Amino acid sequence: MNNKDVLPERRHTLQRKPGTTRRKTLQALGGLAALALLPAAVPLARAAAWEGKALRIGYQKSSTLTVLLKTRGSLERRLAPLGLKVEWYEFTSGLPLLEALNIGSLEFSADVADTVPVFAQAAGARLTYVAQETPSPAAQAIVVPEASPIRSLADLKGRKIGLAKGAGAHYLLIAALASVGLTVKDVEVAYLPPADGRAAFERGAIDAWSIWDPFLAGVQRQSKVRLLTGEPAVAQYKRYYLAADAFAEARPDVLAVLFEELREVGRWVKASPKEAAALLSPVWGLDADTVELANSRRSYELRAVTPDQLGEQQRIADAFFAEKLLPKKVVATEVRIWTPG
């Protein structure tokens, strides 16, 4: 081991709460393959093993800051002196993204909705929290057609609602129904990925759609809809960035670069909304005005994760367990956390 392997560990620390050393691999969702466990510990000496290899990053189209990093090429320039190339892999949703991260197919995950790490944690995944975006409650909503007789959350009783299973919009529906004394047993839930949800919504196959940006902005601007969720927000909607435990242990220096680059891009998006929209428009396949609307509702403010900020994660875990969507109870603070120096 040489000095460059040791120094990053001194600057950036990893925290693990008690009770996480032994976990069984569990089924997080019906239809989701069980997540394999990574090794419990990786010696720091393995840092050298990453020299000259690719940093594999998984992202979704809605992973705005990561998409912009990919478009701008700034991350590649920062990591070249560290002997790393960057490979980018697009996923349709957060759950398979974290599964790929857990089994070692990726080193780093772009932002996923706050619900997704809860399912991964319940399945025994060996993942490290790297960063979170501050809350963006307006970046997701339950929408109904403008002419719908559904005028309030209470009117959802007995209706068919589309959503992506395990997404932030899934918890949004649970929390929204709870706010008016209902549960998911009082409605019919249709599990649909965003593209299928949009199609079902527009042809009237579902009565309401729980969805997030930029899909929310797209349906708002292209269809006549009303939002049922507003103030006060029933869900905070934070998004999290995660790393494979092995990579977080071996290369905290690379996580520091990722954190800095993502935070800088987040500041740029908010300071330059039109320029950011112009870059994202062809990637998302949406017009620039729709992209700008979506971006206006996301905070894009990156910060470190601390255990005292995981209260919403615990509420999500409790709500999903109560609905029998998690295979076991989850303690949200029993996770591995990377801390920037």
Eight-state DSSP code of residue 82: G
* Structure token pair of residue 73: 């090429």
Q: How many domains does the chain divide into? A: 2
pLDDT at 25 over 60: no
Listed residues 165, 197, 227: the one ending a domain: 227
Beta strands 85-90 and 160-163: pairing type? unpaired
Q: Tens digits of per-residue pLDDT, 240-278?
A: 999 999 899 889 999 999 999 999 999 999 999 999 999
Residue 317: CATH number of its domain: 3.40.190.10
Judge whether 122 lies within some domain. Answer: yes
Backbone angles phi, psi at 162, to 5 degrees: -95, 145
This prediction has a pTM of 0.82
Same domain assignment for residues 157 and 210: yes
| Residue 82: per-residue pLDDT | 86
Report how far residue 6's alpha carbon sits from residue 4's, in angstroms, rounded to the nearest whole number: 5
Judge whether 232 lies within some domain. Answer: no
A 10 A CB-CB count for 58 gives 26
Listed residues 227, 247, 278: the one ending a domain: 227
Residue 228 near residue 170, CB atoms below 8 Å = no
Report how far residue 214's alpha carbon sits from residue 321's, in angstroms, rounded to the nearest whole number: 28
Q: Which residues contact 40 (CB under 8 A, 6 or more apart)?
A: 21, 126
Judge whether 45 lies within some domain. Answer: yes
Residue closest to 82 by CA, chosen among 54, 58, 110, 104? 54
Listed residues 196, 227, 258: the one ending a domain: 227
| Residue 201: per-residue pLDDT | 98
Report how far residue 320's alpha carbon sits from residue 224's, in angstroms, rounded to the nearest whole number: 32
Crossing angle between the packed helical segments 94-102 and 115-122, to the nearest 10 degrees: 40
Q: Tens digits of per-residue pLDDT, 166-200?
A: 889 999 999 999 999 999 999 999 999 899 999 99
Judge whether 301 lies within some domain. Answer: yes
What range does the domain containing 85 cover?
Answer: 3-135+238-339
